[in-house]
């Protein structure tokens, strides 16, 4: 069920259940999503969130999981240099609809929501239709509807997704996107929302150091199926799509929550779901359904991908079956540890394929899957 992006919690605000104080180091804190101002119903089984940290210093990692469950051995994002960072996450609803956050170091946390998942009922529930990842827009290209020029500072620009070359049907009511910025200098934040609606008080990503940054986002379709983007500072923007949500029909899939679980870590000893690290420009496949109790019939995975590169990493791409698509999942041009969420179609064997432009360690965590 898509919703206009809405801010649930911000610990920079006055002290309260969905406000301050900041997260204390290594102390879990629960957030009551249903008590927030976004009108999320009690039958929500999982939330499509955007989590942003404003660290008080270097932050090793932040994790989020369903309230009432044991802390899983996964992470959602990292900020080793203490910069503001955001990452999308699909998080199962926990006890009384809550979610729990844990940070290795003190940090402010901001929680935005752009949709939620409910049991299939009535005609309003949407199914997920995975796509081979496809590039919708790249403002680095020639001037045009889906090309240049770059975004001007604090100037809205809409993109008619249905008119792109990715073949999205008019029945689509929300898109599973990956937004990437290539700014010439520091970028406060970028926001994306349904065209024709007022700009929400939420953000999609931040690039305060001016580096290339990507973040996943589920964005409701706006007027004419379009989306609107704004950036606080001038930047190029790249928009990729890996699926859409539409009324149930042939090929549509339902979402099934999973306790957050680590599938792969190439820092571990060599093995099918361990080392060695990814070699530069060499695809490597991983059978997701061989771990974390994910069934063989899963058609797509809700993943969190983290890279730990020894040197600058141009980009990492994830996809299912077929040849490598011309899209990216994340970037780490400054060699920092970077994470990004991704809804990745499964191959026939239940695997996903990873490709990195440069050598890097890769970690894959899972929080749910889609199946018919």
Per-residue pLDDT of 7-43, as tens digits, reads 999 999 999 999 999 999 999 999 999 999 999 999 9
Of 1, 4, 87, which Cα lies nearest the Cα of 38? 4
Query: Does the residue 60 lie in any domain?
Result: yes
- Percent of the chain residues topping a pLDDT of 90: 97
Give pLDDT tens digits for 171-207.
999 999 999 999 999 999 999 999 999 999 999 999 9
Helix/strand/coil (H, E, C) string of 248-313?
Answer: CCCCCEEEEEEEEEEEEECCCCECCCCECCECCCCCEEEEHHHCCCCCCCCCEEEEEEEEECCCCE
Burial 327-365 (b: 16+ CB within 10 A, else e): bbbbbbbeebbbbbbbbbbbbeebbbbbbbbbbbbbbbb
Query: To which residue do tokens 């900041």 refer?
Result: 22
Pairing of the two strands 361-371 and 174-182: unpaired
Burial-class residue 183 by CB neighbours within 10 Å (0-12, 13-18, 19+). Answer: buried
In this structure, the answer to whether residues 77 and 132 fall within a common structural domain is no
* Amino acid 308: pLDDT: 98
Whole-number Å distance between alpha carbons of 347 and 352: 6
How much is the average pLDDT of 242-260? Answer: 95
How much is the average pLDDT of 249-261? Answer: 95
Give pLDDT tens digits for 30-39.
999 999 999 9
Domain with 266 in it: what CATH number?
2.60.120
φ, ψ of residue 3 to 5 degrees: the values are: -135, 150
Q: How confident is the model at residue 311 (pLDDT cuts 50, 70, 90)?
A: very high
How much is the average pLDDT of 322-336? Answer: 96
* Amino acid 361: pLDDT: 98
Query: To which residue do tokens 């990004």 refer?
Result: 340
* Amino acid 120: pLDDT: 76
Q: Where are the beta strands (DSSP E) in 11-120?
A: 29-32, 46-55, 59-66, 77-79, 85-92, 98-103, 107-117
Q: Which of 86, 117, 148 is the last residue of a domain?
A: 117
First to last CA, the chain: 17
* Amino acid 123: pLDDT: 56
Query: Does the residue 92 lie in any domain?
Result: yes
How much is the average pLDDT of 224-242? Answer: 98
In this structure, the answer to whether residues 93 and 8 fall within a common structural domain is yes
Query: Does the residue 46 lie in any domain?
Result: yes
In this structure, the answer to whether residues 6 and 106 fall within a common structural domain is yes
| pLDDT at 122 > cutoff 90 | no
Tell me if 257 sits within 8 A of 301, measured CB to CB.
no
What's the CA dihedral at 41, 46, 51, 57 to 10 degrees? Answer: 110
* Amino acid 119: pLDDT: 85
In this structure, the answer to whether residues 17 and 112 fall within a common structural domain is yes
* Close Cβ partners of 323 (under 8 Å, ≥ 6 residues apart): none
pTM to 2 decimals? 0.95
Tell me if 227 sits within 8 A of 159, measured CB to CB.
yes
Query: Does the residue 122 lie in any domain?
Result: no
Q: Which residues pair with 138 in a beta bridge?
A: 238
Q: How confident is the model at residue 292 (pLDDT cuts 50, 70, 90)?
A: very high
CB atoms within 10 A of CB 124: 9
- Percent of the chain residues topping a pLDDT of 70: 99
Average pLDDT of the chain is 96
Q: How confident is the model at residue 92 (pLDDT cuts 50, 70, 90)?
A: very high
CB atoms within 10 A of CB 282: 10
How much is the average pLDDT of 231-248? Answer: 97
Tell me if 311 sits within 8 A of 119, measured CB to CB.
no
In this structure, the answer to whether residues 216 and 109 fall within a common structural domain is no
How much is the average pLDDT of 69-78? Answer: 97
In this structure, the answer to whether residues 42 and 91 fall within a common structural domain is yes
Of 334 and 122, the structure prediction assigns the larger pLDDT to 334
Residues in the chain, total: 372
Please give the residue range of the domain that contains residue 330.
Answer: 254-371
| pLDDT at 321 > cutoff 90 | no
| pLDDT at 258 > cutoff 80 | yes
In this structure, the answer to whether residues 242 and 258 fall within a common structural domain is no
In this structure, the answer to whether residues 137 and 210 fall within a common structural domain is yes
* Amino acid 222: pLDDT: 97
| pLDDT at 224 > cutoff 90 | yes
φ, ψ of residue 223 to 5 degrees: the values are: -55, 125
Q: Where are the beta strands (DSSP E) in 152-276?
A: 157-159, 174-182, 187-194, 205-207, 213-220, 227-231, 236-246, 254-265
Q: How many domains does one find in the chain?
A: 3
* Amino acid 266: pLDDT: 98
Sheet with 227-231: strands ordered across: 157-159, 227-231, 187-194, 205-207
């Amino acid at each position: 069920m898509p919703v206009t992006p809405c801010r649930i919690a911000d610990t920079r605000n006055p002290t309260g259940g969905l406000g301050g104080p900041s997260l204390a180091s290594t102390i879990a804190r629960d957030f009551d999503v249903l008590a927030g101002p976004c009108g999320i119903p009690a039958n929500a089984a999982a939330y499509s969130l955007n989590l942003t940290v404003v660290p008080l210093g270097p932050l090793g990692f932040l994790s989020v999981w369903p309230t009432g469950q044991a802390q899983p051995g996964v992470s959602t994002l990292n900020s080793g240099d203490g910069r503001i960072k955001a990452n999308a996450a699909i998080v199962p609803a926990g006890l009384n609809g809550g979610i729990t956050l844990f940070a290795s170091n003190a940090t402010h946390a901001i929680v935005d929501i752009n949709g939620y998942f409910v049991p299939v009922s009535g005609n309003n529930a949407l199914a997920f239709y995975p796509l081979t990842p496809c590039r919708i827009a790249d403002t680095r290209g020639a001037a045009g509807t889906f090309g240049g020029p770059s975004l001007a500072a604090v100037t809205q620009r809409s993109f008619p997704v249905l008119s792109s070359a990715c073949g999205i049907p008019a029945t689509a009511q929300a898109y599973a996107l990956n937004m990437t910025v290539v700014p010439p200098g520091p970028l406060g934040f970028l926001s994306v929302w349904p065209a024709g609606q007022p700009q929400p008080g939420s953000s999609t990503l931040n690039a305060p150091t001016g580096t290339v940054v990507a973040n996943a986002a589920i964005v409701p379709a706006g007027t004419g199926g379009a989306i609107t983007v704004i950036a606080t500072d001038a930047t190029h923007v790249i928009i990729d799509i890996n699926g859409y949500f539409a009324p149930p029909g042939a090929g549509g899939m339902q979402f099934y929550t999973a306790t957050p679980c680590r599938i792969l870590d190439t820092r571990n000893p060599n093995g099918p779901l361990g080392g060695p690290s990814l070699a530069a420009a060499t695809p490597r496949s991983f059978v997701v359904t061989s771990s974390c109790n994910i069934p063989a019939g899963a058609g797509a995975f809700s993943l969190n991908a983290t890279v730990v590169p020894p040197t600058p990493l141009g980009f990492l791409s994830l996809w299912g079956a077929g040849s490598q698509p011309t899209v990216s999942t994340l970037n780490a041009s400054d060699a920092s540890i970077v994470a990004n969420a991704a809804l990745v179609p499964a191959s026939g064997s239940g695997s996903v394929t990873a490709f990195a432009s440069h050598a890097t360690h890769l970690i894959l965590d899972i929080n749910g899957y889609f199946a018919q």
